[in-house]
Structure 1
């Protein structure tokens, strides 16, 4: 039986340079590098057996890629289209798996709060949708529609009938506008609230500082040393925080904070000082606004809508306090907690810049329009699979 002769490979100078660049590139796919080097060896006159030994591949592999380059050039070194393995699950089965994922487990009689991929795989088999299926396959099927039933997000509907008007007033103040008129240099906007129940957790063993290949270590056991509240007002446009600690919250502690700030400059001589607050019991309703105005005529209390503390910028400052001062909470006493908060307030005021508040009136209008569309479609879309799920949180929770 005649032995097939090796195909002759003759390279031009540009072809050789291009192949050599691919052969020694660090970003070229490894499989393509082997094929290119086979072609280069063939062009240098090596036999197929020699190339197979040099490159550590089978003789048939050398023949294949040598022949493909001879017939098609560099294009011949690429992979040919493949049909792939036929799908194991029909479109109907895939749709049933997705529909199951879009139901709450409790509604299907399964005592779970939410699905996992393994639980969905087991339920798919129990229902006879498929004889066998793995959790990873379920994940791939759900990924086609970006379904992740093991995740959840909390949300709430707007309950304040004057939400739009109240939110617009707060957003206007952040833009230095009140009743359509710009604020003067002697007018200020303060965002105020209370951070409650800051505990003094006295650890039973000292906290260990971080070291090489070791994070900071905090003992899990602790004795309770009591708790306090941190009341603060944040000057929105000047990035200045003024606060103090109290044993508890209430009307008296809040008015103490107001007294402390409104009797100091520049607020004492300001034309107007707007106090943005939420609807907590310390400053709720018209009575709180009247009480503030009676004590300080240049103070104006402005309420955020109900369940919309996220519009209050001081909450951003409190999140910074939680990350940088309170956590992981290792204090010997409440006095140490208070001292740490007071020192951090001074430190923050030395370098703070106003927050880059990006939620505007246009964003508010988009939010309200999205909620209105959701309410209109809520009843018609119930019990129709995933379509009954809200597309996005109506309001941040």
Structure 2
């Protein structure tokens, strides 16, 4: 049996050997370059192709190809050679211009997102390219991770005391003042009692649930609820309207549910919440036990009751059919009763914004854990 092809002898210069050894010591070097450097150095030491392949976990053809290039060109043989095929028609500079063009608005006053066809026309008109197809432009945008057709909305809060208010509310969420209760209160209005005109078609393998578009409206309900952020207990009531009198009647229920001790109320800047004369009289009747904390403008996410409303929407309202306002009210009350059977508070992990000094805020238990122990 033949002995096979003789392995090519690799003799590296002192300069190449030092450069490859320095490459191996770099912690940020690409793995591909490290493996190729090891092949060249091991071949320079006189090891066989089979031994190198077994040591590095590579195939024989791969090691043999790299060894042949190093034998003929030295360390330069480790570099990539130009690949065959037609060169790119659109260069890097033109690709960057296309990405910038896609980020520009479609119209000065009107639409903001241009179509692919419009982008192709504008690229040709501005001389970026002579010609480009929709599919080619789409591949360039995907490679550049640019999606100008997608939009994420956000709402800026103009409150000058935004950070201070958020940090104060977060402090109440993490620990209530001694002997007090922290309640998150808000209203969910315009809850529609919608009855599906025709029954759904149940899902089956390969087919999703089918729902008839037509429905019957039976009116709306308003839900006013208070969440005890530290116990998870919920107090709520449904009504046909959401007026100052309805909110005042609900707050009387809250006062009866918490007859002793200070009560901290967190709610938003709704006009019924800001009626100072009304709440001054209410507080006077209840021995000034209530302290009202207002979330910053456009910052409803700070109010924990919004989390409960989200769960209520998904579990009670979504894809539901309510035959009347009374039916909707019964299901809402059943949801609140079920939450109170096993109350569970939300785990609020947001510690607040950084202090004026730039030092990040830390949770109390985290600071205690980081504090050096005095035990011996």
Which TM-score applies when normalising by structure 2? 0.70
Task: Say yes or no: does 1:217 pair with 2:210.
Answer: yes
Deviation at 1:80, TM superposition (A): 7.1
The alignment of Structure 1 onto Structure 2 pairs a total of residues equal to: 309
Match of 1:242 among 235, 245, 248: 235
Residue in 1 that maps onto 2:4: 8
Deviation at 1:263, TM superposition (A): 0.5
Deviation at 1:225, TM superposition (A): 0.8
Deviation at 1:327, TM superposition (A): 0.8
Deviation at 1:105, TM superposition (A): 1.2
Task: Say yes or no: does 1:114 pair with 2:144.
Answer: no
Q: 1:218, 1:328 within 8 Å by CA — same for their partners in 2?
A: no
Which range moves more in the overlay, 299-308 or 229-238?
A: 299-308
Deviation at 1:242, TM superposition (A): 1.0
SS in 1 for 2:150: coil
Residue in 2 that maps onto 1:159: 158
SS in 1 for 2:353: helix
Match of 1:334 among 320, 325, 328: 325
Cα gap change, 1:7/1:105 in structure 2, threshold over 3 Å: closer, same or farther? farther
Deviation at 1:82, TM superposition (A): 4.3
In 1, Cα distance between equivalents of 2:65 and 2:162: 71
Residue in 2 that maps onto 1:346: 337
Cα gap change, 1:70/1:346 in structure 2, threshold over 3 Å: closer, same or farther? closer
Q: 2:195, 2:215 within 8 Å by CA — same for their partners in 1?
A: yes
1:16-165 residue pairs with structure 2 within 5 A? 81-83=81-83, 85-107=86-108, 112-143=111-142, 146-165=145-164
5+ long unaligned stretches in structure 1: 1-5, 23-31, 40-64, 73-78, 178-182, 370-397
In 2, Cα distance between equivalents of 1:148 and 1:365: 36
**RMSD over aligned Cα atoms:** 3.8
Q: 2:231, 2:344 within 8 Å by CA — same for their partners in 1?
A: yes
Cα gap change, 1:67/1:197 in structure 2, threshold over 3 Å: closer, same or farther? closer
5+ long unaligned stretches in structure 2: 7-48, 69-78, 361-376
> 1:4-48, CA deviations, whole angstroms, 9 ceiling, x for partnerless residues?
xx98379xxx969x89xx9xxxxxxxxx9xxx7xx8xxxxxxxxx
Task: Say yes or no: does 1:281 pair with 2:268.
Answer: no
In 2, Cα distance between equivalents of 1:364 and 1:66: 57
In 1, Cα distance between equivalents of 2:341 and 2:135: 52
Cα gap change, 1:71/1:99 in structure 2, threshold over 3 Å: closer, same or farther? closer
In 1, Cα distance between equivalents of 2:94 and 2:117: 17
Cα gap change, 1:141/1:286 in structure 2, threshold over 3 Å: closer, same or farther? farther
Which range moves more in the overlay, 252-261 or 161-170?
A: 161-170
Cα gap change, 1:7/1:197 in structure 2, threshold over 3 Å: closer, same or farther? farther
Deviation at 1:347, TM superposition (A): 1.5
> 1:215-254, CA deviations, whole angstroms, 9 ceiling, x for partnerless residues?
4332210111111111111111111111011111121111
